[in-house]
Amino acid sequence: MKVLLVKMSSLGDVFHALPAVQDAYQQVPNLEIHWLVEEAFADIPNWHPAVTKVIPIAWRRWRKNLSSADVRAEMKAFYQDLRSTEYDIVLDAQCLIKSAAVTRMAKGPRYGLDKQSCREPLAAMAYQFPQAVAKGQHAIPRVRQLLSQVLDYQIPDTFSYGIDRSRWQRPEMEGGYEGDYWLFLHGTTWDTKLWSESYWVELSKLVVASDRRVVLPWGNDEEKSRAERIANKINGVEVLPKMGLNALNAYLAHAQAVIGVDTGLSHVVAALEVPSVAIYGATDAVLTGVLGPKVEVLSSGLECAPCLNKQCTHPDRNDGNPAQPPCYRSISPPRVFEAALAKLEA
């Protein structure tokens, strides 16, 4: 059976689909999946053995310059590639208007969520066989239910992302270090999702004192400066060079533990099934947060959390440490350290 899976973006959304792909891979004989995904994430579907072809789409880039002749030529080539295959099933697992429009272009019977189940109900008009999947659930079980209904199999009691960590070799570390290390995903998009820099320093001291090293990746100048400030305060903290996702995955896959905030890379860690702690304060982990057998999610218990605000408005925000939003004060470095140790022992 040849299936086109449409799951374009974002990074977290792409990883949310992998447990469903693993279910189908285990349950459906002779399954072959082609995955249509944003070009920035095109490497990820190839990590799963059920995916035999990746079809990159550059909509995020194209929409900025639709009048360009080069862009129009790329769009034409994409359309011709998409139309070159007849599928047994075309399945939109994103169910947004943009993904529904792309699904409508493909050859084959079209499936997706019905209008009561879609986040954008108009998307359901593109599907010949709309499916009902209850809202109010985390994205991962919703996608698992969607695929199981379309492909007609029972969902297993346990889940896995189906990614083999051994495909990445342990990277060479500074000074030839070969011991255990913890990796900190300290960068994210909103200020209200950041855990305090002073907390990262305190946690680094706890990790180094336990005879482990700390490794700090970064993706922009602000994150690089933060990583360097932390490393300058403590011996045993290594700042990595800037690198792409595949190179960083080698460090993630071989870490003894990973500590992260609400960021797309925390979903990568969950998929690799590395023991990890994910820290949530201003944002909500219930519907789209990090989920996996090796992940411990620590969420704020503050009455206003999750506020989903990019700027903190809590009346105590300027008390104590002004750089620390109040919702993270209960998620202290010792608490995070103990939670990570518990995941190692589980």
The tens digit of pLDDT for each residue in 104-131 reads 999 999 999 999 999 999 999 999 999 9
Q: Which residues of 314-342 are buried (b: 16+ CB within 10 A; e: fewer)?
A: beeeeeeeeebbbbbbebebeebbebbee
Whether 281 contacts 305, CB under 8 Å: yes
What pTM does this model have?
0.89
Whether 336 contacts 298, CB under 8 Å: yes
Q: Cis link prior to 10 (omega < 30° from 0)?
A: yes
Strands 181-185 and 129-131: unpaired
Confidence at 324, pLDDT banded by 50, 70, 90: low
Q: Is a pLDDT exceeding 60 seen at residue 85?
A: yes
Q: What is the DSSP string of 230-288?
A: HHHHSTTEEEPPP--HHHHHHHHHH-SEEEEESSHHHHHHHHHT--EEEEESSS--TTT
Rounded Cα distance between 6 and 144, Å, is 14
Q: What is the pLDDT of residues 226-272, one digit of tens each?
A: 999 999 999 999 999 999 888 999 999 999 999 999 999 999 999 99
